[in-house]
Amino acid sequence: MHIDLKKEIRESNPGQIGIVILILVVVLAVAAPIIGRYDPIQQSAATLLSPSQNHWLGTNHVGQDIWSQLLYGARTSLLVGFSVGILGLLLSILFGMSSALIGGIYDRVIMRIVDAFIIIPMVIVVILVAAYIKPSLLLLISLLSVLTWPGGARVIRAQTLSLKQSGHISASRTFGAGWLYIAWRHILPDLMPILLVEFIYGVRRAVFMEAGLAFLGIGDPMVVSWGTMMHDALRFSYLDVWRWWLVPAGVALSLTIIGLTFISHAAEAVLDPRLRGEAVA
């Protein structure tokens, strides 16, 4: 299990492209206040303007600067994506590892819950909750994290079980190491490549879900989001504004997801060594 994930990704073309795209999105999101020039929420009387020197991508139906919205939208996507990625992963590690190490009835109960969660479609659960509680960004992040951990937990449990049998762990046990120490000192480092892959999956799913839900009009109206932009722009599709309003938002969202897909494809070779040697592809 000692695989250099960074090398694996760096040596594959799609992996490189993915990293470049992701870095680009992160830079734009971080630099949003500098390159944006306008407050993305600030409404004005200048509505539905065409692109110009002042407004690179024009303005929307309430006079907000679309270019600024695009940049701040990246912030929302990345914030939700990475938060859900991390929170979901932590839950996966907690339940997956403890399941494998404790075993017995605890293991069986957790795995049953995992199986049950995996088959429930996430979209409709979030819609149901959103119908009753208008979800803030924080609630959305928690909801998505709680709904996405089971997949990762199963993978982590399987890997922990196989690691548990390996020589260095038994050696460590005979020296009197406790399971907590072993989990932290030996199992976690060996799981790193898989954790990274699971993390990227989680981020990708969350970015997708956030945009989709915002597209449905679910979510905080004060938060700038690519999904909301597309939702609003679609209502004006009879005008030409979709060219600089709808398309940039959609392309930005798609590019972000493509970047993540490319990275995860390169990293998948870690989970399935039979796919190795893909470096040329």
Partner 1 sequence: MKAIKHNLVTYGIAFLFIVALNFILPRMMPGNPLTAIYGDEALIAMTPELKAHLVERFALDKPLWEQFGAYFIAIFRGDLGYSYYYNAPVLKVILGHLPWTLLLVGSSLVLSTILGLMLGIESGWRRGSKTDRTLLAGLMSLNGFPDFFVGMILLLVFGVMLGFFPLAGALTPYSGISGLSLVLDVLKHMALPVAALTLAHLASGYLLTRNTMITVLKAPFMLTAKAKGLSQKVLKYRHAGRNSMLPVITMTGIRLGRVVTGALFVELVFAYPGVGQLTYQALLSRDYPVIQGVFLMVAISVLLANCAVDLLYPKIDPRVSYAY
Contact 213, 163 (CB under 8 A): no
Q: Contacting partner 1 (CB under 8 A), which of 23, 35, 116, 171?
A: 116
The interface with partner 1 within residues 188-247 (CB under 8 A) comprises: 208, 211-212, 215-218, 230, 234, 237-238, 242, 246-247
In the complex with partner 1, the residue whose CB is nearer, 42 or 254, is: 254
Residue 274 binds partner 1, judged by CB under 8 A: yes
In the complex with partner 1, the residue whose CB is nearer, 34 or 133, is: 133
Closest distance of CB 128 from partner 1, Å: 5
Number of residues that bind partner 1 (CB under 8 A): 49
Residue 130 binds partner 1, judged by CB under 8 A: yes
Closest distance of CB 30 from partner 1, Å: 22
In the complex with partner 1, the residue whose CB is nearer, 43 or 237, is: 237
Please, is 273 exposed, middle or buried when counting C-beta atoms within 10 Å of its C-beta (0-12, 13-18, 19+)? exposed
Q: Please tell me the distance from the alpha carbon of residue 281 to that of residue 273, in angstroms, as a whole number.
A: 15
Q: Which range of residues in 31-39, 97-105, 142-150, 256-264 is near partner 1 by CB under 8 A?
A: 256-264
| Cα-based distances in Å from 223 to 172, 187, 220, 226 | 50, 40, 6, 10
Closest distance of CB 143 from partner 1, Å: 12
In the complex with partner 1, the residue whose CB is nearer, 28 or 260, is: 260
Q: Which range of residues in 79-87, 112-120, 154-162, 191-199 is near partner 1 by CB under 8 A?
A: 112-120
Residue 250 binds partner 1, judged by CB under 8 A: yes
In the complex with partner 1, the residue whose CB is nearer, 124 or 180, is: 124
* Contact set with partner 1 (CB under 8 A): 14, 112-113, 115-117, 119-121, 123-125, 127-132, 208, 211-212, 215-218, 230, 234, 237-238, 242, 246-247, 250, 253-262, 265, 272, 274-275, 280-281
